[in-house]
Amino acid sequence: MKDHIGIAEKLNRESILRSGGALLRSRPNCRIGIERESLRCTACGMLSEAAHPASLGGKDDNPYITTDWAESQIELITPPCESPAAAHRFLEMLTDIVLRELAPRQELLWPLSTPCRLPDAGRIACARFEEAAENTRRRKLREKYPVEMLLLSGIHCNFSFTDEFLRRIADGADRKAVREAGYLKTARNLQRLLWFAVGLLGASPAGTTGISVRNSSAGYKSACSAQLDYTSVAAYCESVNRCLETGLIAAPSELYTPVRLRFSEKPTGGPVEINRLELRFIDLNPFEKCGISAADLELLRLLLFHCLLTGESELERFSEDFETVAENGFTPGQREKAAELLKQLGETARLLHVEIPGALEGAAGRLHCPEHSYAERIRKAGTLSPEWLRRAETYRDDALAEAWRLPGFDELELSTQCMIREAVKGGIHFEVISREDNILRLRKGTRREYVVQATRTSLDTYVTPLLMNNKLVSKMLLREHGIHTPDGIELRPDDDLADRLRPFIGKRAVVKPVSTNYGIGISVFEHPATKEQLREAVRLAAGFDRHILVEEFCPGREFRFLVIAGKTFAVTFRRACHVVGDGVSTIHELIERANRHPWRAPGHHRPLVTIVEDEAMRQHLALQALDFGSVIPAGEDIPLRRISNISAGGEACDATELMPERFKRIAERAAAAFDAVICGVDIIIPEPLGPGSSYAVIEANFNPALLIHEFPFEGKSRPAARQVLIALGLLDD
């Protein structure tokens, strides 16, 4: 009894603030994970009868995308995140990925909790899994519950306190006991305030007054809900077992209750420890692409911390029947109680680190103006109104408009984002262990791989990039393998340049640092170069390397061949950044206009890189008797650089199917010269392309960008990131 009193004292407001107050005001102090269920529907708003998209991986083992009860009921699952904002960003990423995969099938995600138009019940298929037990469980649910109830979709929010926060508030007491008591107190208080949460978040109206059919007596719940005992873990497990023994539920997974305790192990056997609370009462908000707003997630977080911090006797006076509110909305008296609770939540918010402002203000607006509530707005339109199909289309179009973007990860290089996207689709668990260096840890089953900047992997040796980075060594290795490269010489800035450069004066030439990447420090002279121009190019290259390469200029178009595991997977040609005159604007103004294109941004976070005015560009314009202040005649296309690297503002165009097989084999031999598994080979080939055309391999790249193949400015997209995952053995071919 004394121990019980001691634990209870650890969980009163004053004790928690004294021992854990600093963590309350910082982050992270909790973990939030979201499960979102949504029905796939056709373009006309009918439930899809098609199978789960194969492009989203296997349902059985994908930790992010699976199906719920029905084959057409997609379930999106975020990992535990350290804040409502982070959880919402991850959910938005999953939502966007699914919407993009559904678009070619002419399918959408139905935005409401209540179902879209349904075919005959006999045509609605249970989700099909490889594991027979999963299929059997779904068939039994169909026999037990109405199909319309099973198709009700919603949001589940998994909430946990961090171990460090629980350790702080335990303050020397039995940590396991404090953990259990803390979660149980929070769960009991939340049960008292369910009516408040349902009243503010309800979004599945029925009849003239109902605000949440999912939480009504006819909603998505099992008959054992009222029989669960939250006084202790032992009592809870015993009550679950009684429900199993009496046949109220067939398995613990059938605990369709508004608040469910989740354990590190199943409560029917073995040692158990609560590791989170699962909130199952949240309706889909059709006014949000993700089905829930970040502000409402913040509201729920505040509510859960309020339930932990506030005494049970204090919240008992607020207790109301949540089913009655779900079926009839707030009474005037309940509205007054809800207003007082919002005021208390405001006081709790001042004790916490609140990342998303406006959560309480938004809830207050819906409380005091019922016509602004989600349920009333839906009721006014009608649950099968064309508005919901239009919203579903808008959410799809929003996802497609920035098809490269992964919310929550958009500060990473785009090639890394491509890897994350394919990992999610393929059911590969991923973790970003360094955002600054774009390092991923990938895991599927027992296999684990680390990937840096999307293409630096365990498949290539340490020496491979060192060989490629030295242009002289690269030329030597390529020639040893019978591959043609441009003739040239190596020099240093302190050499006798007059003598060393003499063979190239009056000829077309290329000057570049021996060790370079991304086209940095390179000058290309398509027209005969003067002595002064060559000296200036040497000076520019010397800013990046003391060793400089001067080569003959090879006419033709430059192509990038992506070679993975010995095979050419994709080919692009890169078009140098350019502007088209309008007869009025200067080149500087035209560049500014080009940089406003939604595909362009600094770095490698979008398909195109910002065009930067620099010395190399000034030189290239000077060769055309132009400068940044020149006004270009309307319709005239002016190249701004000779080099076409994406990092230098160039544009990629897919040429995989246009490229003769001979040159694909040459690229494969070039990669083999370095024993490279993942390699970008740059080859200049005169046009028109033909099997007998001449060529010159310019260089091999150890860290080829995938974005130019995934998101070409023109031509077909090639799933290069997926091919890397196949080479790593994480996906099947």
HSE (CB half, 13 Å, CA atoms) of 50? 15
Tokens describing residue 459 = 């498949």
Contact criterion met (CB below 8 Å) for 515 and 468: no
- Per the domain annotation, does 590 fall within a domain? no
**pTM recorded for the entire structure:** 0.90
What the block records as the tokens of 425 is: 């689709």
Residue of 541, 543, 549 lying closest to 501 (CA atoms): 549
One domain, residues 683 and 729: yes
Write out pLDDT tens, residues 616-662. 899 999 999 999 999 999 999 999 997 788 888 999 999 999 999 99
| Residue 3: pLDDT band with limits 50, 70, 90 | low
Tally: H helices and E strands in the chain: 26, 23
Q: How far apart are alpha carbons 81 and 90 in whole angstroms?
A: 8
699 falls within a domain: yes
- Mean of all residue pLDDT scores within the chain: 93
Phi and psi at residue 592, in whole multiples of 5°? -60, -40
388: Cα within 13 Å, side-chain hemisphere = 29
pLDDT classification of 270: cutoffs 50, 70, 90: low
Cα distances (angstroms) measured from residue 249 to each of 177, 218, 242: 29, 17, 9
C-beta of residue 356 within 8 angstroms of C-beta of residue 371: no
Q: Are residues 451 and 349 in the same domain?
A: no
- Asked if 518 and 665 sit in the same domain, the reply is no
Return the pLDDT at 27.
72
Q: What angle do CA 464, 468, 472 make, to 5 degrees?
A: 135
Task: Give the mean pLDDT of 121-131.
Answer: 95
Within this chain, do residues 150 and 299 fall inside the same structural domain, yes or no?
A: yes
Which sign does the torsion angle of CA 155, 160, 161, 163 carry?
Answer: negative
pLDDT of the residue at 621:
96
Residue 111 lies in a domain: yes
Domain that holds residue 101: 2-221+256-396
Domain end (from 503, 536, 552): 552
693 within a domain of the structure (yes/no): yes
pLDDT of the residue at 511: 92
Mean pLDDT value of segment 455-482: 93
| Residues 618 and 628 sit within 8 Å (Cβ to Cβ) | yes
Q: Residue 666 has what DSSP assignment? A: H
What is the C-alpha to C-alpha distance for residues 294 and 356, in angstroms, rounded to an integer? 7
Sign for the CA dihedral angle at 679, 684, 687, 689 comes to negative
* CATH number for 112: 3.30.590.20
| DSSP annotation of 250 | S
How many CB atoms lie under 10 A from the CB of residue 522?
22
Residue 526's pLDDT is what?
84
Average pLDDT over residues 508-534: 85
Query: Among 114-118, 303-307, 514-518, 661-665, which is the least confidently predicted range?
Result: 514-518
Q: 668: closest CA among 559, 558, 560, 566?
A: 566
Q: Say how far apart CA 342 and CA 360 lie, in whole Å.
A: 7
CATH code, domain carrying 716? 3.30.470.20
- What are the C-alpha distances in Å from 61 to residues 51, 64, 442, 678? 17, 9, 15, 28
**606 found inside a domain:** no
414-426 pLDDT, tens digit each: 999 999 999 999 9
- The continuous run of DSSP H or E covering 108 comes out as strand 107-109
Q: Is 228 in contact with 184 (CB distance < 8 Å)?
A: no
698 and 716 co-located in one domain: yes
Amino acid identity of residue 581, one-letter, is G
pLDDT for residue 95 = 98
**426 and 472 together in one domain:** yes
Q: What per-residue confidence (pLDDT) applies to 353?
A: 86
pLDDT at 1: 42
Residues 373, 211: Cα–Cα separation, whole Å? 9
CA distances (Å), origin 564, targets 417, 443, 484:
19, 20, 21
User: What span, in angstroms and rounded, lies between the C-alpha atoms of 200 and 195?
Assistant: 9
For the stretch 433-444, pLDDT in tens is: 999 999 999 999
- The answer as to whether 602 is a domain residue is no
Partners of residue 564 on adjacent β-strands: 567, 678
Give the other-Cβ count within 10 Å of 607's Cβ: 23
Q: Do 287 and 394 meet the contact criterion of CB atoms below 8 Å apart?
A: no
Q: Are residues 352 and 240 in the same domain?
A: no
pLDDT at 394: 98
Compute the distance between CA of residue 560 and CA of residue 574 in angstroms, rounded to an integer.
Answer: 8
Q: Count CB-CB contacts under 10 A for residue 289.
A: 22
Helical residues (DSSP H) of 382-513, grouped into ranges: 386-401, 414-425, 463-469, 471-480, 497-500
Q: Is the pLDDT of residue 432 over 50?
A: yes
Give the separation between CA 571 and CA 665, rounded to whole angstroms: 12
Tokens 């003391």 label which residue?
546
Percent of the chain clearing pLDDT 90 (strictly above): 77
For 424, list phi and psi in degrees, rounded to 5: -60, -50
pLDDT band at 518 (very low <50, low <70, confident <90, very high): low
Question: Rounded to whole angstroms, how far apart are CA atoms 606 and 168?
Answer: 43
Q: Are residues 26 and 170 in the same domain?
A: yes
Quote the CA–CA distance of 362 and 528 in Å, as a whole number.
68
Q: Which pLDDT band, with edges at 50, 70 and 90, does 227 fall under? A: confident
Q: Name, in order, each residue with C-beta under 8 angstroms of 549's C-beta and a sequence gap of 6 or more.
A: 471, 472, 488, 489, 490, 510, 511, 512, 513, 514
**CA–CA–CA angle 328, 329, 332 (5° rounding):** 110
Q: What does the pLDDT read at residue 519?
A: 66
Rounded Cα–Cα distance for residues 483 and 668 (Å)? 11
Instruction: Report the relative pairing of strands 608-609 and 600-601 from DSSP bridges.
Output: parallel
> 609-645: string of b/e by CB count within 10 Å (b at 16+)?
bebeeeebbebbbeeeebeeeeebeeeeebbbbbbbb
Residue 622 lies in a domain: no
570 by DSSP, 3-state: which?
A: strand
pLDDT over 70, % of the chain: 97
SS3 604: coil
Indicate the DSSP class of residue 266. -
Is the alpha carbon torsion for 138, 140, 145, 148 positive or negative? positive
Residue 685, H or E segment: strand 678-685
What is the 8-class DSSP label of residue 354?
Answer: -
Residue 636 lies in a domain: no
- Burial class of residue 600, CB neighbours in 10 A (0-12, 13-18, 19+): middle
What is the residue type of 360? L
Among 726, 676, 723, 722, CA closest to 701: 676
- Tell me, yes or no, whether 212 and 360 share the same domain: yes
**pLDDT (0 to 100) of residue 425:** 97
CA-to-CA distance for 166 and 174, rounded, in angstroms? 11
CB-CB contact of 136 with 257 (8 Å): no
**Is residue 435 located within the same domain as residue 371?**
no
Question: Do 209 and 228 reside in the same domain of the chain?
Answer: no
Instruction: Report the alpha-carbon distance of residue 65 to residue 52 in Å, rounded.
Output: 10
- Based on the fold, state whether residues 167 and 40 are members of the same structural domain: yes
pLDDT of residue 494: 84
pLDDT, residue 2, reads 43
The structural domain count of the chain equals 4
- Non-local (6+) Cβ contacts of 263 within 8 A are 272, 273, 274, 275
Q: Which amino acid is at 498?
A: A
CA distances from 199 to 324, 334, 651 (A): 10, 10, 52
Q: pLDDT tens digit string along 371-393?
A: 999 999 999 999 999 999 999 99
Q: Mark residue 564 as left, alpha or beta (left: phi above 0; alpha: psi -120 to 50; beta: remaining).
A: beta
